[in-house]
Structure 1
Amino acid sequence: MTDSQQIAERLLAALGGADNIVDVENCMTRLRIGVRDLRPINAQSIRETDKVLAYIPGLNCQIVLGPGLVDKVANDLNAALARAAKTLTASHSPSGNSAEELASAGAAIRQRNSERNNTPVKNALRRISNIFVPLIPALIGCGLIAGINGTLTNLAAGGGVPWLAAITPLFAVMSSGFFALLSVFVGMNAAKEFGGTPILGGVVGAIIVAPAVANVTVFGQVLAPGQGGVLGALGAAILAAYVERWARRWAPEVLALIVVPTVTILVSGLATLFFLMPIAGRLSVFIGEGATWLLSNAGIGAGFILGGAFLPLVMTGLHQTLTPIHATLIEQNGYTILLPVLAMGGAGQIGAAIAVYFRLRRNTGIRKIIKSALPAGFLGVGEPLIYGVTLPLGRPFLMACVGGAFGGAVIGLSDQLGYTIGSVAIGASDLSLFPLLAGNHGQGIAALGYACGLLVAYVVGFVATWFFGFTRDSLASLNSEPSAETDLVEEDVTELATAGSTR
């Protein structure tokens, strides 16, 4: 049995068994599990499961596992649920109605859970996540190769290592191929998400980057290959999905294979050329120029606000809405200048968590959580510290935001002085962002500016939490636990912290 299968089996038991699980979904770092009843759940067992970084309870609970592993555990957990369902059905007599009644009850539970999650904001976040999260490994991999290539190119241009000039074209091809066809991949994922055929979404996305677009004139304006970029591909693929579904309703079954794709490409393709590319092109330029202007002219203030607001965005999941903006900036400039600013939120939280660790010297429960969550935090996975430490304690979460705000102000100041700091890919932050850094004065200057921002965020988050993170009463309450009680569970920590922070 693999590690992911062992984790899935333990989580299945700790969550109350297959009968108590309604559905299982996952994003890049978290399992999202709908449950029927909270009473049979063993929260302590979940938190003590190997590789589990954090557990957020509720009827729609979340279990943080980190990138990569979460996909495997989600697949294994769904497979375990399928096996349990087959066993349950086989164990009932064919003449009885128990299995049917249970299936009916399960369908009703799924319906209620679906209705509870069927809000415009949650649906939009889920769809954006489903479209862009699968692209993140390629964005990181190709971005890192691009960063390596930039370093090698500088060394070759300096004359110190001339033989590198023969290698850099190889790295350039490997890193640029994906970005050149990014609109195609976005189109495929968007079409699939909206109920269309992925390859048809990829076709209309390919229209945007096709070289022949340069021969097309629309309303007196010559189009340019890539105009509209990711946003244009997103709109085109969504339109293609709706056109395809409409065409399938009336096309004769015997001709559907010919009629449906032809109509889909014609209608959505013409709409892309005449409307979506010009509109999305203007919008993309506005986003790029707007972000550049904001950090160039109001760098300190903009960085302060963005860095301080990022943790609440992560907590609510709204940070997913920024993914298309990051992708647009990368497509336009080769890097996004927003991600290094936003990454300061996680750095402020690390400083706050370290301060909590030293302030609560006698609280072995919280200190244990911090020690296990800090390595993931330094690598850019912030949920364990959010849900396991700073947010339950109240004030430290606000102080973490303050640390992120000051770190963001440093990054904004660098941009305002003309030394932009950007990331060639999305999906990484904190220390893991260093290999992906770029800027208008080279990777070295960008790395130096980013390191200064991290240092300020760490220090301010630590100092703010040390002096303002606790009231006198809450500090006394949280430190009242004897150090011998090493088995203190997080529920007790959270309850005590909440009581102390509200005094």
Structure 2
Amino acid sequence: MSQYRDAAKEILDAIGGKENIASATHCVTRLRFALEDEDKVDKDKLEEIDVVRGSFSTNGQFQVVIGQGTVDKVYAELMELSGKKAATKDEVKTAAEKNLNPLQRAIKVLADIFIPILPAIVTAGLLMGINNILTAEGIFSEQSVVEMFPQWADLADMIHLIANTAFVFLPGLIGWSAMRRFGGSELLGIVLGLMLVHPDLLNAWGYGDALQDGDIPYWNIFGLDIAKMGYQGQVLPILVAAYVLAKIEIALRKRIPDGFQLLIVAPVALLVTGFIAFIAIGPVTFWIGNIITDVFVWIFSNVAAIGGLLYGAIYAPLVITGMHHTFLAVDLQLIGSTGSTFLWPILALSNIAQGSAALAMYYVLKDEKVKGLSMTSSISAYLGITEPAMFGVNLRYRFPFICAIIGSAIGAVWITINSVTANSIGVGGLPGIFSITAGYWLVFLVGMVIAIVVPFVLTFLYGKTRMKDQ
């Protein structure tokens, strides 16, 4: 245990001492700190410690990568040495919020809402990929698998239903997570989300045709015509409605006696929010969502190369700031409005590029500790988790990060000028090809090769000429 105690002492000293710790916890691989002043951290000294495999700051938290199995032992020693009380992840997040500016706080809200539902979305994306394999033409022959083997058609149909459920009832998932974040009842959030996609409402995907044909149904309430419109696949309506619902619920709970809360709080909060949602929130946010969609569609339709180049270049820097979480909402909005997204495939290439740059560093570096981190983090990035590669290796030496951005941007230009889209959000790495719209797999595969080869070659050549002694 002395080795873990010694490591904890060194880490404590490198992060500015126990006085600099506001709160601390750990996850499977990392120590997570809310620090009083991150400027007091000596990163060079920190990353020279044997057990430390990297460090980075995100969302107001300073995180130290230790590794599975070791991190809990180091954390226990660190807590004993510092005299601090062990904290939960939520407590550390709350303590870290004081380090965020208003923009970062807004982005963190989006992250807190969308990250919990991401496993359901990614799972749906993978299942949609399996459905693509079974139903797409031109993969194995001119006919699809279900055309060649009709007995598999019902299996493909069931897989599609299971995969599509998360997207059809997306407002229900967002409603649950948003109410959890805003402090309201999660169950009411689910009900609110499902209410916005009730089958008695006009399906949002049929709104355009209904508007053109003049067939939009209306409620007439006290002389006010309210469109009976659903918001399938929409992000903004449920986000705003959930915020309103949470505020109304919290206000009522403070004012209604405990004995009457069950009878009054939920019914009143849901009824008032429902009226507001259908009268104002839904129409306004649906209009805003369509504008956002139209802007991105116009850019990638008219100046595809520029759009791909810019997004391919800036995505990795966005990850550093945490702003990439905002584009998850945009991806879901695009899928809900158009049936596919052209942004997510670029994300997958960016992750692959970061992994390739980290892999090249394995062959460049002589330091066994960082070499090991380069190899393991590259595999992680290829499977969609880029933070260890980016913060532990690429940003540490800077040039691998730049080389990865170059490869990502070139690959992004290639797939955008060839109109590659994804049916869903899947695993943002090599397995991401299964979420790509059928018919674009070969084009995307070429983009993947670019994202693998270009960063690897650039990082390897530059590293060999400039880092001979490291």
The aligned counterpart of 2:55 is 55
The aligned counterpart of 1:309 is 314
Aligned equivalents of 1:435 and 1:408: distance in 2?
17
- Describe the shift of the 1:306–1:202 C-alpha distance in structure 2 as closer, same or farther (beyond 3 A): same
- Describe the shift of the 1:209–1:282 C-alpha distance in structure 2 as closer, same or farther (beyond 3 A): same
TM-fit CA distance, 1:366: 4.4
* 1:172 maps onto 2:160 in alignment: yes
The C-alpha deviation readout for 1:231-280, integer Å capped at 9, x for no partner, is: 11111111101111122232233322222112211221111001111112
One of 269, 293, 303 as aligned partner of 2:274: 269
- What is the letter of the counterpart of residue 152 of structure 1? L
TM-fit CA distance, 1:138: 1.0
The aligned counterpart of 2:149 is 161
The aligned counterpart of 2:431 is 432
- Describe the shift of the 1:152–1:396 C-alpha distance in structure 2 as closer, same or farther (beyond 3 A): closer
One of 450, 453, 477 as aligned partner of 2:447: 453
- What is the letter of the counterpart of residue 48 of structure 1? V
Q: Percent identity?
A: 26
TM-fit CA distance, 1:308: 0.6
Output the TM-score relative to the length of structure 2.
Answer: 0.77
Aligned equivalents of 2:48 and 2:290: distance in 1?
50
Aligned equivalents of 1:327 and 1:27: distance in 2?
28
Secondary structure of the 1:209 match is: coil
The aligned counterpart of 1:181 is 169
Aligned equivalents of 1:332 and 1:192: distance in 2?
26
- Describe the shift of the 1:252–1:353 C-alpha distance in structure 2 as closer, same or farther (beyond 3 A): closer
- What is the letter of the counterpart of residue 376 of structure 2? S
Which region of structure 1 is more displaced relative to structure 2, 210-219 or 56-65?
Answer: 56-65
One of 190, 195, 201 as aligned partner of 1:207: 195
TM-fit CA distance, 1:25: 6.6
* Structure 1 residues 110-189: aligned runs within 5 Å: 113-114=95-96, 116-154=98-136, 159-189=147-177
The C-alpha deviation readout for 1:354-385, integer Å capped at 9, x for no partner, is: 55444x36555543432232211222222222
- Describe the shift of the 1:397–1:228 C-alpha distance in structure 2 as closer, same or farther (beyond 3 A): closer
* 1:282 maps onto 2:287 in alignment: yes
Aligned equivalents of 1:124 and 1:388: distance in 2?
26
One of 364, 381, 385 as aligned partner of 2:389: 385
The C-alpha deviation readout for 1:372-404, integer Å capped at 9, x for no partner, is: 322112222222222222222233322321221
TM-fit CA distance, 1:464: 4.1
- Describe the shift of the 1:452–1:328 C-alpha distance in structure 2 as closer, same or farther (beyond 3 A): same
Structure 1 unaligned blocks of 5 or more:
1-7, 89-101, 104-108, 482-503
Aligned equivalents of 1:80 and 1:396: distance in 2?
34
- What is the letter of the counterpart of residue 468 of structure 2? N
TM-fit CA distance, 1:331: 2.5
TM-fit CA distance, 1:466: 5.3
The C-alpha deviation readout for 1:137-171, integer Å capped at 9, x for no partner, is: 11111221122123223466763111012322321
The aligned counterpart of 2:210 is none
Structure 2 unaligned blocks of 5 or more:
86-90, 137-142, 203-216
TM-fit CA distance, 1:177: 2.3
- Describe the shift of the 1:389–1:156 C-alpha distance in structure 2 as closer, same or farther (beyond 3 A): closer
* Structure 1 residues 396-411: aligned runs within 5 Å: 396-411=400-415
Aligned equivalents of 1:178 and 1:23: distance in 2?
36
TM-fit CA distance, 1:321: 1.3
- What is the letter of the counterpart of residue 293 of structure 2? G
The C-alpha deviation readout for 1:475-502, integer Å capped at 9, x for no partner, is: 2xx3225xxxxxxxxxxxxxxxxxxxxx
* 1:375 maps onto 2:379 in alignment: yes
Report if aligned partners of 1:227, 1:281 keep a CA contact under 8 Å in 2: no
* Structure 1 residues 187-226: aligned runs within 5 Å: 187-214=175-202, 216-217=218-219, 222-226=227-231
The aligned counterpart of 1:480 is 469
- Describe the shift of the 1:13–1:135 C-alpha distance in structure 2 as closer, same or farther (beyond 3 A): farther
The C-alpha deviation readout for 1:332-362, integer Å capped at 9, x for no partner, is: 344322011233323333443455444x365
Secondary structure of the 1:159 match is: helix
TM-fit CA distance, 1:217: 4.1
Report if aligned partners of 1:228, 1:282 keep a CA contact under 8 Å in 2: no
Secondary structure of the 1:211 match is: coil
- Describe the shift of the 1:452–1:195 C-alpha distance in structure 2 as closer, same or farther (beyond 3 A): same
Report if aligned partners of 1:204, 1:272 keep a CA contact under 8 Å in 2: no
The C-alpha deviation readout for 1:12-48, integer Å capped at 9, x for no partner, is: 7875599786435789997632257868x99469763
The C-alpha deviation readout for 1:165-187, integer Å capped at 9, x for no partner, is: 23223212211222222101211
- RMSD over aligned Cα, in angstroms? 4.1
Aligned equivalents of 1:244 and 1:150: distance in 2?
43
* 1:257 maps onto 2:262 in alignment: yes
TM-fit CA distance, 1:229: 1.9
Which region of structure 1 is more displaced relative to structure 2, 215-224 or 380-389?
Answer: 215-224
TM-fit CA distance, 1:446: 2.0
Aligned equivalents of 2:27 and 2:331: distance in 1?
18
TM-fit CA distance, 1:10: 11
Report if aligned partners of 2:232, 2:336 keep a CA contact under 8 Å in 1: no
* Structure 1 residues 224-235: aligned runs within 5 Å: 224-226=229-231, 229-235=234-240
